[in-house]
Amino acid sequence: MSPHHAYPLSVSEQDYLDGELLTDIKHEYIHGEVYAMAGAKAAHNRITLNISSALHQHLKGKTCQPYSGDMKVKVDSCYFYPDVLVDCSDLADDSVFTETPTIIVEVLSKSTRQIDRVIKREKYLQIPTLQEYILIEQGIAEIEVVCRSQNWQSHFYYLGDHITLNSIGLSISVEDIYDRVKNEDVVTWLEKKTLAEQNLSN
């Protein structure tokens, strides 16, 4: 989702948090400046739902829980809305933000790529509990994963690959993350896969 400036003046953290309870429009808070979040496209929503569903199924009955869309992450004096996160601290039912995420997922777009790769990345990697930060492109089939256990080095994954999230013991295929997404990479991949399956059956 892309940020747009919402208020001309800086506001306090408490005023920001109080305001978020009164509005249907989500805002991110960066060092006193408040930004409204724009709506997301269908591909973005499909990717978010795909990975949220996989996390929910895998973590059912466990302490770690996935959250998508409405749960804020606090870092220093900033509040962000990741597309998906996993928190293992057993948050209270009335929690509106967490400071202890284990996994954060951002689905990239042209308007958010720089923010997610630079500003948010710098902030997120300061969180002591964070183990994996995942950045998912929606226009192409490419996923970047950075892990604390590997000194935050970037690893890229493509269709045909599986991603292992060691912090929660989950392996998920790139194909499943892009299920029902119709970008050129996915369409071409599925066409080749169908053709290969047909050749095997002949």
Residue pair 85/25 in contact by the 8 Å Cβ criterion: no
List the end-to-end C-alpha distance of the chain, in Å, as a whole number.
46
What tokens appear for 101 in the block?
């995420």
Averaged pLDDT for residues 46-62: 97
CA angle 122, 115, 173 (to 5 degrees): 85
- Please determine, for residue 66, whether its predicted confidence score (pLDDT) is greater than 80: yes
Looking at the whole model, is its pTM more than 0.75? yes
Q: Which residue has the higher pLDDT, 20 or 6?
A: 20
Which two structure tokens, joined as six digits, stand for 143? 């996923």
pLDDT, average across residues 57-68: 95
The per-residue pLDDT for range 79-100, each reduced to its tens digit, is 999 999 999 998 999 999 999 9
Among candidate residues 93, 98, 2, 106, the one with its CA nearest the CA of residue 47: 106
- On whether the 40-201 domain is CATH 3.90.1570.10, my answer is yes
SS3 109: coil
Q: How confident is the model at residue 9 (pLDDT cuts 50, 70, 90)?
A: low
CA–chain centroid gap for 5, Å, is 22
Dump pLDDT digits (tens) for 31-40.
888 988 877 8
What amino acid occupies position 122? Answer: E
Name, of 8-12, 114-118, 152-156, the range with top average pLDDT: 152-156
The strands making up 65-68's β-sheet, listed across from edge to edge, are 65-68, 84-87, 101-107, 132-136, 143-147, 154-157
Beta strands in 38-138 (DSSP E): 65-68, 72-75, 78-80, 84-87, 97-98, 101-107, 132-136
Tracing tokens 């053709």 back to the chain, one arrives at: 195
Q: Where are the domains of the chain?
A: 40-201
Residue 1 has pLDDT above 60, yes or no: no
Model confidence at 7: pLDDT above 70: no
For the stretch 141-194, pLDDT in tens is 999 999 999 999 999 999 999 999 999 999 999 999 999 999 999 999 999 999
